[in-house]
Amino acid sequence: MSSNYDKYPAVSLHQGSIWKGWESCLSRIRQEMSSLTHGRKVVVVECYTGVLHNDLKKGLTGLGYQDFLGEKNWLKEESEILALTNPDVTDDQVFGYMTTLRMEDFICRDKVACLRQQIEDTRSGVVVLCGSGASLVWPEPDLLIYADMARWEIQLRMRKGLVQGLGVDDSALDFSYQYKRGYFVDWRVCDRLKTELISRIDFFLDTNQSGLPRLMTREDWLAALELTSRRPFRVVPYFDPGPWGGQWMKEVCDLDRHQENFAWCFDCVPEENSLMFEVDGMTFETPAINLVLFQSMNLLGNEIVRRFGAEFPIRFDLLDTMGGGNLSFQVHPSKEYIREKFGMTYTQDESYYLLDAREGASVFLGLREGIRKEQMIADLRRSANGDEAFEVEAYVNRWPARKHDHFLIPSGTVHCSGRNSMVLEISSTPYIFTFKMWDWGRMGLDGKPRPINVEHAVEVINWDKVAPIVQKEQINRIEPLAEGEGWREERTGLHPDEPLETRRHWFTGPVAHDTDGTVNVLNLVEGREAVVSSPDGYFEPFVVHYAETFIIPAAVGPYVISPIGVDADQPHATIKAFVRSE
């Protein structure tokens, strides 16, 4: 049967407008400016990092601007910004520290004073200020446009050397360094400013597709977020190859068969995924993090906002090793370590749910009994130096893995998925904090060794996680909870040390759920198609397909999932994750 996986899910809006292309966008902008009667008109285009400024300069020529002023006119010199951000960026190849800097820290007061005087002296015509921090230079413009950018598109542009960091030209550096600067500094700074500007923005500009912008008014954009926060939805998934990648997703998700492999599908990482709005066939792409920032209570619920702030605490992604290789041997930091070293308030506790597995598939999890800690550390260091291969199975348990198995991986547990598996990874969100200890001697896709983090890893390994404990506490902890006509509910985890709870429902008929005031994340792990409906008509029916991850905002309350389609009479199953109450 052919794939029915939806790679481009969109939230359908019944009202509002989207303008597409420069001609259409400029027509709407000029309409807004037509009521201005004074001589000089100042248009500020505040930019997220990754936006192509030359595209904006060229596209906005239709405004007939007299001056187009870029961020070099107000940002501090690169040397100053490097010194300012170095404590957060650090010298580490992968890890930094979550910054507390704000956009104001990047602004040069002397430059701004000169620029303001220059604008004051301009008596007529249109002046455009375009770039990150532009809104701080001229706080009360005639028009404020926010040029936004999804973080996944930023990463694609980073890999091509097309963009630079906030006030720093790092475009020629390795992708890992560019990403690190974005993750720990630039994106945090830009998000803080965006939340401060929200009440003053006139238009949002979708700049994800070079040369083909989309425009929405702030009112329509906010209304779209509010609608999304009260109904089931999916973010736009993205797929990426990797040195261990497999072939399963090509078929199930209908991906490019000419690609060598696909390793990851990020299908619920609002930090990086996009959210797509659709009006009368016209689409507008916005970073999914905007929903988290501006509809926190509806999306997450009061308790999660209290505990985590405006952060989405659950991540679902797919890891494909079918016909590929083992994942890197790794471990995640403890809560104390990640707080002290990286400024994060919670860590990456996770689990592997097996969507599929071939004969002989396995998961490496926990330590063998009787190993010598000092010897293992010495062997890890030797392998990191390239002296010899690390013999994983001399120290680590290898467990057979079958379809619908669930392996629980609290922080500190050494682990990795083996080849010929299709893993749904369910975890807390700080996904960058993976300490790789051994990568099977292979190179990354760029032909360079992948970063190894042995010294971080040995500080956080839980040496008590040995075979008997792992087998008892972390593999297939399936507990029947309830059943009714055509359904049964099971608790599958997670470990008591982890903040998430997971429930699996098997069903051939309708199953009643309730968010109980907290966001739910689900995946259809068995069955071709199902529909999510509201018992009281609160939202429109929402169709999901096999392997798709979908989000039920806290504000939804009760909802029902039912099998539909050609195999509606066959067993279906969902796995659901939510944050446990404290």
pLDDT value for 139: 95
Share of the chain above pLDDT 70, in %: 99
pTM score of the predicted model: 0.95
pLDDT-wise least confident of 72-81, 223-232, 380-389: 380-389
Q: Kindly tell me if the per-residue pLDDT of 1 is higher than 70.
A: no
Band of residue 570 on the pLDDT scale cut at 50, 70, 90? very high
Q: Which of 366, 577, 395 is nearest to 475 (CA)?
A: 366
Q: Kindly tell me if the per-residue pLDDT of 430 is higher than 80.
A: no
Average pLDDT, the chain: 94
| Per-residue pLDDT reduced to its tens digit, 303-350 | 999 988 899 999 999 999 999 999 999 999 888 888 888 877 666 788
Q: What is the DSSP letter of 61?
A: G
Q: Kindly tell me if the per-residue pLDDT of 582 is higher than 90.
A: no
Edge to edge, the sheet with strand 542-545 lists 511-514, 558-563, 529-533, 542-545
| Per-residue pLDDT reduced to its tens digit, 520-549 | 999 999 999 999 999 999 999 999 999 999
Q: Are 206 and 285 in contact (CB under 8 A)?
A: yes
309: left (phi over 0), alpha (psi -120 to 50) or beta: left
Radius of gyration of the chain (CA): 25
- The structural domains of the chain, ordered by start, are 22-201 (3.40.50), 238-275+297-473 (2.60.120.10), 479-579 (2.60.120.10)
Tokens standing for residue 416: 């990795």
| Per-residue pLDDT reduced to its tens digit, 237-294 | 999 999 999 999 999 999 999 999 999 999 998 988 999 999 999 999 999 999 999 9
Band of residue 428 on the pLDDT scale cut at 50, 70, 90? confident
| Per-residue pLDDT reduced to its tens digit, 33-69 | 998 878 899 999 999 999 999 999 999 999 999 999 9
pLDDT value for 431: 59
- The Cα 141–Cα 116 span in angstroms is 12
pLDDT value for 335: 81
Segments in 198-315 forming alpha helices (H) = 218-228, 248-252, 289-294, 296-300, 302-308
pLDDT value for 38: 83
Band of residue 491 on the pLDDT scale cut at 50, 70, 90? very high
